[in-house]
Amino acid sequence: MANQYQPIGVFDSGYGGLTILKDFIQVMPEYDFIYLGDNARAPYGSRSFEVVYEYTLQAVNKLFDMGCQLVILACNTASAKALRNIQQNDLPHIDPNRRVLGVIRPAVEAIGDFTRNGHVGILGTSGTVLSNSYPIELEKWSEGKVVKTTQEACPIWVPLVENNEIDTPGTEYFVSKNIRNLLNADPEIDSVILACTHYPLLLPVIQRFIPESVRLLEQGKVVSSKLLEYLSRHPDMDIRCSKLGTVKYYTTENVEIFERNAATFINRTVKCEKVVLK
Ligand code: DGL
């Protein structure tokens, strides 16, 4: 075990990554975690590549300053628009021994086991969909198991969750519309990836409009089991992650608001501190 406090950093544009952290805590409770939400600048979903990259790099640097050796971008938009650049261009200069991982690759690796006919649907933010990261990565990693990927951008879903509109007719309208668009574009879809950290909160509504024959892949479970696998394959990194079972929360926005809203995403009371990213 690391003899210093070296938590695993979990970054998201706002609250959504808490749905991933929830599974991390459940699957690997002995590890230390720091959650950082850039709530002051969320959502990232409709921001440009340059801006998402700039903000994400600031967050990664902050988490490194806090002692993290490993940072997970628990945000599809940041994983889609910033991860590759950070891994290839920044990490070698900052510290080649630290690691930054995302949430897209684990979901993509898992979908091969999920789909029976190779027709996969992606529901995500506009940024994730426009980046084409999922189709590109599915082509690379599914070993030919995925034959057709169809994407649907759902730009309204995050604001609906953030504004506590989960159980309203407005949400039903937009969820049913986006799912209909996706399934009309490829009626053979048998597996759908919820490619946004907020969407698990909409699961009861989503399930109402997805036929029973279509399987839904939630990222939290996949990403947490893949993280455990990663750490067992990389004992050099595992030993540098401290294990006292603590979780700390930081936000770039108002602390009280974060503490109030976080409970919806993680089902627990959290104490949070403010941090400035630049
Ligand atoms: N966390 C983001 C994602 O998974 C959704 C929220 C946002 O747009 O910032 O894509």
- Tell me: the pLDDT tens digits for 205-219? 999 999 999 999 989
- Separation CA 155–CA 163 (nearest Å): 14
Tell whether the model's pLDDT for residue 1 goes beyond 90. no
> Among 120, 116, 115, which Cα is nearest to 185's?
120
Fold of 104-219: Rossmann fold (3.40.50)
At residue 246, the 3 state secondary structure works out as coil
pLDDT value of residue 129:
95
pLDDT confidence tier of residue 2, bands split at 50, 70 and 90: low
77 lines ligand 1 (CB under 6 A): yes
Answer whether 8-102+221-274 and 104-219 agree in fold: yes
Eight-state DSSP code of residue 75: -
Residues 6+ apart with CB under 8 A from 116: 190, 191
Tell whether the model's pLDDT for residue 162 goes beyond 90. no
Can you tell me which atom of ligand 1 is nearest the CA of 195?
Answer: 4
pLDDT value of residue 155:
94
pLDDT value of residue 46:
86
Percent of all residues in the chain with a pLDDT value above 90, rounded to a whole number: 90
Q: Does domain 8-102+221-274 have CATH number 3.40.50.1860?
A: yes
On average, the pLDDT of the chain sits at: 95
pLDDT value of residue 3:
64
Where do the domains of the chain lie? 8-102+221-274, 104-219
Tell whether the model's pLDDT for residue 170 goes beyond 80. yes
- Separation CA 245–CA 180 (nearest Å): 43
13 lines ligand 1 (CB under 6 A): yes
- Separation CA 173–CA 186 (nearest Å): 20
Mean pLDDT of 225-231: 96
Identify whether 68 is a catalytic site residue.
Answer: no
- Separation CA 219–CA 188 (nearest Å): 22
> Among 20, 36, 26, which Cα is nearest to 219's?
20
